[in-house]
Structure 1
Amino acid sequence: MFRAMIALVAALGLISPVTAVASATVPSTPQVPAADFFRHAEFTNVTLSPDGRHIAVTVPEGDRTLLAVLRVADKQIVGKWDYGSNRHIENVFWVNDERILFRASIKLGSLDYRVMPGDMYASNIDGTQRIDIPNGNYYQILDRVRDEPGMVWVQRSINNAFLFKLDSRTGRTITVASAPLDQGSFVLDHEGNVRYVVGMMKDRRIRTLRREEDAWTLVHETREGGGQRRPLGFHADNRRVYFAVSDRGEPERIMLFDPESGEETVLSHDEVASPDGFVTSGDGRHLLAVRYQPHRPVYDILEENHPEARTLTRLISAFPDHAVEFRNLSADGNLVLFRTYSDVDPGAYYLFDRQAGKATFLLANRSWIRPEQMARMRPVRFTARDGLEINAYLTVPNQVEPKNLPLVMLVHGGPHGPRDVWGFDPEAQFLASRGYAVLQVNYRGSGGYGQAFMAKGFKRWGREMQDDLTDAVNWITGLGIADPGRICIYGASYGGYAALMSVVREPELYRCAIGYVGVYSLPMMFQRGDIPQSASGRNYLRRVLPADRAEQQAQSPAFNVERIKVPVMLVHGARDQRVPIEQMQFLISQMEKSGRSPEKVIVQRREGHGFYDLDNRVELYTELQAFLDRHIGPSREAAVAP
């Protein structure tokens, strides 16, 4: 049961970064087995205790995810947790040096986590004094309560937004404040005073409120997709406030606002991308850096003279070919837990000691992956037909001239909010290893580029969102990189919708299409699945999809099957609650009525929204490769690795 943890202890030796990289260098093999791309990572998350003496590590193991706490000094396990089949421990939060909070979620597919009622737990790090916190899955943890050991700030939204103090030793809560928002997130100053709340109403209005004495006053209100004024936290002086500000939905700029004088100072801004993350000092009082992902991840260091910020700069410079992700710092700021990764490297965790000036290698996400065998992911940009700039990523097989290659358009799901990013992508790497160029497009409607860019996709499913994919294909073939006669399209969830809708809209552009747990009938989205089961879900559908049924059908692959002229492969899990299998069954019935049937259909009766079991994953991608090889393959005799 705990053999992965035994491997963890072995991996946690004091290995320098140079040694760790050197030990990973092995002769390349002709073809990496499919299973190597789709095995679950050895470790999914690592967090550092406030005193820097322990780390908490979540470990996938078969049908569950375990948790272990280890001493940094000798790598010994001091506590471990296993909540049984299909229980996945996540969101570990250090209450103090000796106590943690965490959740155990139910996974209904690789693309869909669910947290069930009651599934929050607290425990001492040695496994003693464990408690179950009733309805804890609804709590969002904000921070530790200053000067009250064992207490944390949590918030919960039930019609109104509520702020509580939670006692991690007993599970009891004390209500501190509420706000007239259907979903809200509170902002406290460094003394623990409630000062702001920002959140969303059921009709998707986004509101920012300020606390004045015992009443809330409106600071800003907008519709989803418009400008925003979102408080992030307080400056070290406890008077000025950091805000993310956008006037018309453009990428947010980070500003420092003085409520007393009204003075505002722009601290950070990127023309292309919205802030992607923030790094604060160990004591939580200084905003040290803002992270963006316009193409590759970049950091804007705000307090360059702060000693912890200087450490961030040193670490970023030490890994020039990698992105550096700062996880957390010890309370005194001396120890920095960080992760490095790249397009060819799934990533590794390190612990940097500022006083000693030394980084210690801790562990790797997928130690079996050899970066020299992987293909580079290149950020690219093109202009859509209406002049909108679109960002994308191109992965080209190793040791192959980028000319007249077979191409797979890999479409991300969501669609509104998620985006493709630079980094190790198992699907893109698998396809590239089999000889295919891969193009991943952040079409309009994707997240990460400002609210206005995302809103450009509202009600435009099957229209301009599809045009962006078409324009991307025409652009890449125009450069001579892709062979216009050997292009297929593939995606999951919304990506499956886009794949099928693309061959409806452009029946001559692609040679095949693959839909994985995809949406094929927009009218059915209002009737089936978990989205229409909540008021916020129904409002979301009304916001992003057309209201007129005829227009919904016009934007649905299942109602336009007569235009599908290419071979189709469909994949679904019988237990999918996000996109029920009835979506695929309806598409198949419509295709059969028109005299066509999918060439290949895969259904796994125990899977949900995305396949989780490794054997099922390997079967899926083996069949996917065979399907592509038949229709656009770089070599008709290409071997399929088991």
Structure 2
Amino acid sequence: MGKDGESVMKRLLQSLFLLAALAAQMALAGPERLPVGDFFKDPEFTSVSLSPTGEYITVSVPQGDRTVLAAFKVDGMKLVGKWDYGAKRHIERVFWVNDERFLMFVSRKLGRFDFRVGTPDVYASNVDGTQRADMPNLGFYQIVDVTWDDPRTILVQRSIDSAFLSKYDVYDGRVTTVATAPLRFGNFIVNAKGEPRYVVGQDEKNNLITMRRDGDAWIQVHRDEMGGDRRVPLGFDGGDESKVVFEVSRGGKPATVVLVNPETGEETPLSRNPNVEPGGFLQSSGDNPELLAIRYFDGLPSYDFVKKDHPESKVYAGLINAFPDRSVSFAGISKDGRLVLLRTFSDRDPGSYFLFDRKTNQAKYLLSAMSWIDPEKMASMQPFSFKARDGRTIHGYITLPPDSDGGPLPMILHPHGGPHGPRDMWGFNPEVQFLANRGYAVLQVNFRGSGGYGSEFERAGYRNWGTAMIDDMTDAVDWAIARGIADKDRICTYGASYGGYAALQSVVRNPDKYRCTIGYVGVYSLPLMFKDGDIPDSESGRNYLERVLPVDLAEQQRQSPAFNVDRIRIPVMLVHGGKDERVPMSQYRLLKKNLEQAGRPPEVTVVEDKEGHGFYDYDNQVELYTAMEAFLDKHIGGKSN
């Protein structure tokens, strides 16, 4: 071989060596680190609704501090109308009241993790933007039914000392009372003619009462003591008054769906999941819809079809089978049953909408929520369950980095907010995907107190925010360690709202288990919850606090991170919004002050003066999660990250 050949071979070997070194570096670095902003851009839409004729769709579009609405003609996706009600105002849902007119429920929210503040304002409009109107006081009502034979009105209900069923004019806002019932917070069930047949509400002792209409009188048919069994009518199956669909829960367990004949008392079980409550119902089209299926969110979403031979059941089941690697939810069906609006999504895919035409047997793609996300680069979210230390079954999800061989990995315990009512579910979660993309396993736990597992499971968390609920999370961490998923020496906690509380309280309760902790708009003092923020401003908020938090002040302090900073001996990152009304800055300031006085100030603080309960501004989010990434990498990152 000549010198030129030797030179070429030498350069080739050097190139191969460099490529091998680069490959080794990439293997150590974990998955390709995608831009932070890719995970936290506003989705292109948050919800889609189908008009009764199937001719139009409305699309809610988040734009920073607001959510606007756009209406399109499906044929050609031509824009026909747009609605924007200003800063911090979010068009959260649309309700069609006739073939051309819909209601918009506009809420005020002060932060990304905030609940709705106050009663929503309601506006009406034709789909082409004409005849726009403010619907006075409609936010105080609940919609019971649409009166298709009278396109001017809908049936609504409202409770003060008694329950009122009324007709509401969707053009001028006039209200005409149809019936009353001697219950508070009453919910009416009407027949196919819009006539009241059942009402469910509370008496003065907060017992749950079900009454049936008998002529002009109401007859009590069931009474549930507060927190006891539940027996609630949902509606008539196919408009047949001899077939009433009930949810029945005994002993606080997840409800069974049953069919009841009110004349004979005959009861036929239709569907039950042993772990979770019904999570939705699938009905047929037409004026008298039949119950076709019940949806459950037990691990992976699923449907239990109770009328498998119904033609529309076969359509729905076929569409579910057409997307085997996705979950399918049905967002609407035209009155004639021809057009079906469906959404497909997965743990790795934020979701897309399609319109299926039963006549042509074709599904038309409409739009995607986050078209820039490549599902192939996202992480898989796997359900799991285990026995807690007291024998109770706890469910959750574990997400591993896309290129992981299974562990042991640095891991983030990521508790959800709420805590009562919300729960973690299978689907695309930007925060979880961001953390997994950075090489971390992410552990989500539906600890006792979470919603969706029956009232007894939720009540088991009452007054135990900082004890039994935290122990469930700890036991889940131990489960992940025992299975070789988590590196026991590289575990941190991170959460927002109640999750921020749990992230810090987990460290208080187990000071040697974690290497760092991040609290985002978190509660750190339970006593302060009775004084500051918007929760104690209302009677319902005060009742909630009295029901779920410890009664004794000393116990409240024992379950508060701010009063136990001597046990927090690891690096802390705190994040808060200066305009947070749900969890005000007083919570952040108290914990920060007490940590400083103990000689262990937070290592990183991120405070945005103009943000609320969770950051909305895109640049602020990018800065926050960039800082979070650096903080986690410093304390539990490394070769496997």
TM-score (norm 2): 0.92
Tell me the residue number matched to 2:254. Answer: 251
**Cα distance change on mapping 1:323 and 1:203 into 2, 3 Å:** farther
Tell me the residue number matched to 1:17. Answer: none
Tell me the residue number matched to 1:139. Answer: 141
CA contact (8 A) 1:153 1:164 kept: yes
Is 1:542 aligned to residue 546 of structure 2?
A: yes
Q: More displaced, 473-482 or 160-169?
A: 160-169
Is 1:451 aligned to residue 455 of structure 2?
A: yes
Shift of 1:347: 0.4
The correspondence of residues 383-402 of structure 1 with structure 2, limited to 5 A, is 383-402=387-406
- Residue-by-residue CA offset, 1:245-287 (whole Å, 9 max, x unaligned): 0111111010001110000000001111110001111124201
**Cα distance change on mapping 1:115 and 1:53 into 2, 3 Å:** farther
The correspondence of residues 220-259 of structure 1 with structure 2, limited to 5 A, is 220-222=222-224, 225-236=227-238, 237-259=240-262
Where 2:557 maps in the other structure, the secondary structure is helix
**Cα distance change on mapping 1:218 and 1:522 into 2, 3 Å:** farther
- Residue-by-residue CA offset, 1:121-161 (whole Å, 9 max, x unaligned): 11111111111111232222232124211211222333443
CA contact (8 A) 1:118 1:132 kept: no
Larger radius of gyration: 2
Shift of 1:540: 1.3
Where 1:411 maps in the other structure, the secondary structure is coil
Distance 2:503 2:153 in 1: 49
CA contact (8 A) 1:413 1:491 kept: yes
CA contact (8 A) 2:146 2:155 kept: yes
Tell me the residue number matched to 1:265. Answer: 268
| Structure 1 residue identity aligned to 2:261 | D
Tell me the residue number matched to 1:597. Answer: 601
Task: Select the residue among 303, 306, 309 that pairs with 1:305.
Answer: 309
- Residue-by-residue CA offset, 1:384-423 (whole Å, 9 max, x unaligned): 0111111110000011211110000010011111000000
CA contact (8 A) 2:70 2:81 kept: yes
**Cα distance change on mapping 1:484 and 1:205 into 2, 3 Å:** farther
Distance 2:613 2:225 in 1: 30
Tell me the residue number matched to 2:59. Answer: 57
**Cα distance change on mapping 1:543 and 1:432 into 2, 3 Å:** same
Distance 1:160 1:623 in 2: 53
Tell me the residue number matched to 1:366. Answer: 370
- Residue-by-residue CA offset, 1:43-79 (whole Å, 9 max, x unaligned): 1111111111111111122432221211112221122
**Cα distance change on mapping 1:592 and 1:224 into 2, 3 Å:** farther
Shift of 1:537: 1.6
CA contact (8 A) 1:122 1:130 kept: yes
Tell me the residue number matched to 1:5. Answer: none
Is 1:289 aligned to residue 293 of structure 2?
A: yes
Where 1:93 maps in the other structure, the secondary structure is strand
Shift of 1:362: 0.6
The correspondence of residues 406-417 of structure 1 with structure 2, limited to 5 A, is 406-417=410-421
| Structure 1 residue identity aligned to 2:256 | R
The correspondence of residues 112-151 of structure 1 with structure 2, limited to 5 A, is 112-114=114-116, 119-151=121-153
Where 1:320 maps in the other structure, the secondary structure is coil
Distance 2:435 2:639 in 1: 13
Shift of 1:431: 0.1
Q: More displaced, 507-516 or 194-203?
A: 194-203
Distance 2:502 2:432 in 1: 17
Distance 1:390 1:348 in 2: 31
Identity value in percent: 56
Shift of 1:97: 1.2
Where 2:349 maps in the other structure, the secondary structure is coil
Shift of 1:631: 0.7
Is 1:110 aligned to residue 112 of structure 2?
A: yes
TM-score (norm 1): 0.92
Is 1:574 aligned to residue 578 of structure 2?
A: yes
Tell me the residue number matched to 1:348. Answer: 352
| Structure 2 residue identity aligned to 1:468 | D
Q: More displaced, 193-202 or 252-261?
A: 193-202
Tell me the residue number matched to 2:321. Answer: 317
**Cα distance change on mapping 1:223 and 1:372 into 2, 3 Å:** farther
Distance 1:178 1:620 in 2: 52
Number of aligned residue pairs:
610
Tell me the residue number matched to 1:22. Answer: none
List runs of 5+ in structure 2 lacking aligned partners: 1-29
Shift of 1:306: 1.2
Tell me the residue number matched to 1:76. Answer: 78
The correspondence of residues 209-220 of structure 1 with structure 2, limited to 5 A, is 209-220=211-222
Shift of 1:91: 1.4
Where 1:297 maps in the other structure, the secondary structure is strand
Tell me the residue number matched to 1:616. Answer: 620
- Residue-by-residue CA offset, 1:460-504 (whole Å, 9 max, x unaligned): 111111110110111110111110000001111111111111110
| Structure 1 residue identity aligned to 2:255 | E
Q: More displaced, 406-415 or 203-212?
A: 203-212
Distance 1:487 1:202 in 2: 49
Distance 1:415 1:564 in 2: 22
CA contact (8 A) 1:163 1:175 kept: yes
Task: Select the residue among 192, 197, 200 that pairs with 1:198.
Answer: 200
Shift of 1:85: 2.6
Task: Select the residue among 277, 280, 286 that pairs with 1:277.
Answer: 280
Distance 1:36 1:611 in 2: 16
**Cα distance change on mapping 1:542 and 1:285 into 2, 3 Å:** same
Distance 1:532 1:196 in 2: 34
Distance 2:35 2:339 in 1: 38
Distance 1:307 1:484 in 2: 53
Computed over aligned residues only, the root mean square deviation of the Cα atoms, in angstroms, reads 1.8
**Cα distance change on mapping 1:441 and 1:163 into 2, 3 Å:** same
Tell me the residue number matched to 2:27. Answer: none
